[in-house]
Structure formats: structure tokens, C-alpha cells
Amino acid sequence: MITLVLGGTRSGKSAVAERYAATLGDDITYIATAETPDADTDFASRIATHRLRRPSSWATVECGTDLAAALLSNPGPVLVDSIGTWVAGHRDFAVAIEPLIEALTERLQPTIFVSEEVGLGVHATTELGRAFADRLGEVNQAIAQVADRVVLVVAGRVLDLPAITEIS
């Protein structure tokens, strides 16, 4: 079962994904795509808040840019937070989508992804901002194509997004 939880900044997407993961049992692996930066105290505080919400029984793996390998080396249920941070961690946002999707579809246990839905935000005013939004949108669409469930979180509320089978 692959679930993609999308939402904007401070929408509650991570908390929703964590609540869902908790229904899968105590042996959850939380795959963190961000490392705590020394100079960014605000981001470090946000990471600490996420850590405090997680049950102590969950294992945490910091995967850096090698998300596909982390998915393949953790056989139980996993929660990946977040795809936006993973994309941002790559030089020029040059992520390899195909190996990620291959690793994802090889997994037998539930996998929950948290990702930012950048398409709802203000249009990026810089070339770098547009490149990030474009690449993250491509990754989100690729994951959504293989996901069993995609939800959008707005103000802490969950909206199930149906698959598009055909447009008439």
C-alpha cells in the first residue's frame, strides 16, 4: 500500500501521515530526508518538533539523498518525510525519479510519503524557485501514479484525491 500525503506549508500533512502510520503498528521506520542544519535554528526547531511527536518505538533513518536505497533496506512499514526536502537536497534538484519509483514498487510493506504541494503556492519569482517547483511537481506526479491512495491536507483536514482514469 503506497500513500502520498500532499499539503502546503503548515497544512498538517506530517501529523496526518504520522497518525496514519501509527495505525500500522509500533515497528515503523521514519525515513527523514533532512539533516539538522547547524546554522538554521528555525529548521532545527521544526525537526525537533517532528521528533517529539513520533513514538519512541519508531526507528529513524536519515537517508540524505539516497532515498531509493533507504526504501529497499527497510522492509517494514515506512513513513518518508518529506519529498520536497529530498528534492532540495540534490544539486540543481537533479533527482533520479525512476530508481525511486522502482524501489517503491518493489516494497511489500506500506509506504507513506509526505510531500509539499507547491502548485498551490505563489508563483516562484526566481529561476531557482521555478526549477524546484517544477521538479517537485514531477516527482509528486510520479509517486501519485503508483500510489494506492493520494490525499491532500488543507488546514489539518484530509481530502481523498480520486485517480483519474479518463478525461472525457
Over the stretch 20-49, which tens digit does the pLDDT of each residue have?
Answer: 999 999 999 999 998 766 677 887 787 778
Q: Across the strands, what pairs with 3?
A: 112, 149
pTM (2 d.p.): 0.92
Domain ranges of the chain: 2-161
pLDDT digits (tens, 9 = 90+) for 137-149: 999 999 999 999 9
Max mean pLDDT among 62-66, 122-126, 140-144 falls in 140-144
The residue annotated as part of the active site, out of 13, 50, 54, 135, is 50
Q: Could you identify the residue written with the cell 503508483? A: 146
Predicted pLDDT of residue 40: 77
pLDDT computed for residue 166 by the predictor? 61
Task: Name the fold adopted by 2-161.
Answer: Rossmann fold (3.40.50)
Distance CA 22, CA 53 (A): 11
CB 74 within 8 A of CB 110: no
- Asked about 123 being catalytic, the answer comes back as no
Query: What whole-number distance in Å separates Cα of residue 23 and Cα of residue 138?
Result: 29
Look at phi and psi of residue 62 and say left if phi exceeds 0, alpha if psi is from -120 to 50, else beta: beta
Q: What is the pLDDT of residues 45-60, one digit of tens each?
A: 877 787 788 888 999 9
Cell triple for residue 13? Answer: 500533512
Residue 98 pLDDT exceeds 90: yes
What is the structure's pLDDT at 124? 81
Closest CA to 124 of 132, 116, 135, 115: 132
